[in-house]
Amino acid sequence: MCWSATADLVAGTGIAAVGVASVTLAARRPRDLPLAALPLLLGVHQIIEAAVWRNDGGTGPATVAWAVIALPLLPLWVPTAVLCAAPPRARRRLLVPLAAGAATATALSYVLATRTVTAEIRGHTVGYSVGLPHAGLIVVGYLLATIGALLLSGDRGLVLFGVLVAVGAAVSVVLWRQEYISTWCAFAAVASVALSLWVGRRRPPAPRPSDRSCRAA
């Protein structure tokens, strides 16, 4: 979330561009592709919210699309992507956040299918409401699925990324609750760049000329 339609559009476009670069870097490591595509998803999410701003909130298609990505999709996407990219030794423990993500996504999908999500412009923030039952339990499941998966990944870069996500999300939530200004888009941009750098470091090295000669022989 950003503080205006223009900020959301600009940030979303930039984050999506980072996502395209990340996917390109991960092309030679298919297991990294779901995680590399996360900035692209977040960028599209920001662009959708620009439409929510333009529509002055409400319950239209843009609001529903925003909620679908934020609520059921992300808690399932993130642990699945981390499980794909994680080293083999960590995959068994990653089944816990994956199960939490699947349960959370199922519950949130049911809520979106049976209730109306609304968006309200509140100064420099957008507030979304869908009337979640058992909200505390769902929030715990959501955090376990997303941040928990990163922290349990067994990859140092992803663990540090998980810490960055946790700190940035906490700051963003505090500022959003005060209805002062939404800073999630700025944090998402920083996180996307950090993830892209992680993907770049994992890119397989290009074959050396001598290696090509050996294969040709």
Q: What percent of the chain has pLDDT over 90?
A: 68
Count of C-beta atoms within a 10 Å radius of residue 28: 13
Please state which CATH class domain 5-204 belongs to. Answer: mainly alpha
What is the pLDDT at residue 125? 83
What's the whole-number mean pLDDT along residues 161-173? 84
Report the C-alpha gap between 139 and 103 in whole angstroms: 12
Report the C-alpha gap between 70 and 176 in whole angstroms: 16
Q: Assign 170 a pLDDT band (cuts: 50, 70, 90).
A: confident
- Is the per-residue pLDDT at 9 higher than 70? yes
What is the pLDDT at residue 155? 95
Q: Assign 176 a pLDDT band (cuts: 50, 70, 90).
A: low
What's the whole-number mean pLDDT along residues 9-30? 93
Tokens representing 82 are 């981390």
What is the pLDDT at residue 78? 96
Sign of CA dihedral 66, 67, 70, 73: negative
Q: Assign 216 a pLDDT band (cuts: 50, 70, 90).
A: very low
**Read out DSSP for 139-181?**
HHHHHIIIIIHHHTSS-HHHHHHHHHHHHHHHHHHHHHHTTS-
- Is the per-residue pLDDT at 131 higher than 60? yes
Per-residue pLDDT tens digits for 63-82:
999 999 999 999 999 999 99
- Is the per-residue pLDDT at 217 higher than 50? no
Tokens representing 110 are 């049911």
Per-residue pLDDT tens digits for 79-123:
999 999 999 999 999 999 999 999 999 999 999 999 999 999 988
Report the C-alpha gap between 109 and 141 in whole angstroms: 14
Report the C-alpha gap between 187 and 181 in whole angstroms: 13
**Domain regions of the chain by residue span:** 5-204
What is the pLDDT at residue 156? 94
**Read out DSSP for 85-125?**
HS-GGGTTTTHHHHHHHHHHHHHHHHHHHHS--EEEEETTE
Mean pLDDT, all residues of the chain: 87
Report the C-alpha gap between 73 and 108 in whole angstroms: 9
